[in-house]
Amino acid sequence: MTTNPMRIVHCVRSPIGGIFRHIRDLATAQAEAGHDVGLICDSSTGSTFDNRFLEELRPKLSLGLARFPMQRQLTPKDMSATLAIYRHIRDLKPDILHGHGAKGGAYVRMIGSGLRLFGSKVSRIYCPHGGSLHYDPNRLEGRVYHTLERLLGRITDGLVFVSDYESAAYESKVGHPKAKSRIVYNGLTPEEFAPVTVNEDAGDFLYIGMLRDLKGPDLFIEALYNIRLKTGAAPRAHIVGEGPQEDRYRNMVSKLGLEDAITFHGALPAREAFKLARNVVIPSRAEAMPYIILETVAAQRPLIATRVGGIPEIFGRYANRLIEPGHIGKLTVAMEEALEDPARMEREAGELQRCLAATFSTDLMNDRITTLYQEVQGLTPVDEAVPQTTEGTAASRSGQAVYARSGNR
């Protein structure tokens, strides 16, 4: 536990997928460390599967779970949502407002700035999680969002980037950060590094992720069709996930005559989904630091993935195994080679898993983000104030520095 418990409120528009997994792990670790934690998110997003995780998190949130209508795009309704969220946050009297994604980040920085006008010392933290950084800076939409990011950057106290790629994208599209910034990789728990064994009737390939073109399920379906054209039979495959374009992919499977080869499952826990097939395929066109890649590697499942976002940082010296994003030909070849040499795929999965554990841990993720909070709150290390014991200092046992407040908050 830190010496100065904080009141921390996280805000995100869409409480689903990897972005919510990040928040869930971070909020849990912060609550266990003695902080008061709250969460604000959209009231209309999330399936029964997603809402179950929200409800599991609720008992850990001493500052509560609150849901308000939030629009994905910029609309006039953002003004009423901002006012409602402001009133809620004002009553919580937070020390830290941590916004996740473009919309969550905009809310906390504007609301935090409003609170500061009335004497609050709240700190405004922003983690893009890709978000507006995915937009092309040469297109009108990208120019609008990146201009807004530059303006909001002036009222930001701390930035958290989940990958070196995301940090570089921010610098090139928005500008050099004016606030304190940290690159903090997403983390996994120790139990997630246990290998997953597939079912006896496992298929050949699994796509798991959000059902939208950005993540590439259309490429996955088309590659399976290409293999059928070449061999006369499509590999057996599973699609796990939910998303706004699910109907399009179901229609695509029907038009290509792949209904007997591809099974849709909806959302499932990742480690349950891994049992369905011998190889996992993540053909994303854009990413930040995707949890599903981390989870697949930790579970020691053979993986075909694209060279986008922070994925090369996960693969490290094995990044040459990644394929070009959006290239259906190279994806098809990679899937054919996986079918031809399953022993190589299993061997490479083991190599990757052994390299992952030291870098991608929830404990390290929480420690680095909490340290950033402490710095922007005006706390400085006071190692000399830590009493020695026969078992070492309190700081060394916990792996965290002990802080005292420096000046006024």
Position 170 scores a pLDDT of 97
The Cα–Cα gap between 326 and 122 comes to: 43
Strands (DSSP E) found in 136-255: 158-161, 180-183, 203-208, 237-240
Position 399 scores a pLDDT of 36
Where b means 16+ CB within 10 Å and e means fewer, 27-36 reads bbbbbebebb
Residues 10 and 60 sit within 8 Å (Cβ to Cβ): no
7-186+361-377 matches 191-353 in fold: yes
Residue 144: C-alpha distances to residues 75, 151, 303, 344 (Å): 14, 11, 36, 46
Structurally, what CATH architecture does the domain formed by 7-186+361-377 represent?
A: 3-Layer(aba) Sandwich (3.40)
Q: Residues with Cβ < 8 Å from 297, sequence gap 6 or more?
A: 303, 314, 349, 352, 353, 356
Q: Which of 316, 323, 277, 317 is nearest to 296 (CA)?
A: 277
The Cα–Cα gap between 112 and 4 comes to: 21
Residues in the chain: 409
- Amino acid 345 reads M
Residue 182: C-alpha distances to residues 160, 276, 343, 359, 385 (Å): 5, 37, 39, 15, 26
Q: Beta partners for 323?
A: 306
The Cα–Cα gap between 124 and 111 comes to: 9
- Each domain of the chain, given as residue ranges in start order, spans 7-186+361-377, 191-353
Position 76 scores a pLDDT of 87
Position 46 scores a pLDDT of 84
**Per-position pLDDT tens, the chain of length 409:** 445 899 999 999 999 889 999 999 999 999 999 999 999 999 988 888 889 999 999 999 999 999 999 988 888 888 999 999 999 999 999 999 999 999 999 999 999 999 999 999 999 999 999 999 999 999 999 999 999 999 999 999 999 999 999 999 999 999 999 999 999 999 999 999 999 999 999 999 999 999 999 999 999 999 999 999 999 999 999 999 999 999 999 999 999 999 999 999 999 999 999 999 999 999 999 998 999 999 999 999 999 999 999 999 999 999 999 999 999 999 999 999 999 999 999 999 999 998 887 789 999 999 999 999 999 999 754 443 333 333 332 333 233 343 344 443 3
DSSP state for residue 323 in the 8-state scheme: B
Q: Beta partners for 317?
A: none
| pTM score of the predicted model | 0.85
Q: Beta partners for 41?
A: 67
The Cα–Cα gap between 300 and 302 comes to: 7
Q: Is 13 helix (H, G, I), strand (E, B) or coil?
A: coil
Position 50 scores a pLDDT of 86
Q: Is 148 helix (H, G, I), strand (E, B) or coil?
A: helix
The domain 191-353 is placed in CATH, from the list 3.40.718.10, 3.90.550.10, 3.30.360.10, 3.40.50.2000, at 3.40.50.2000
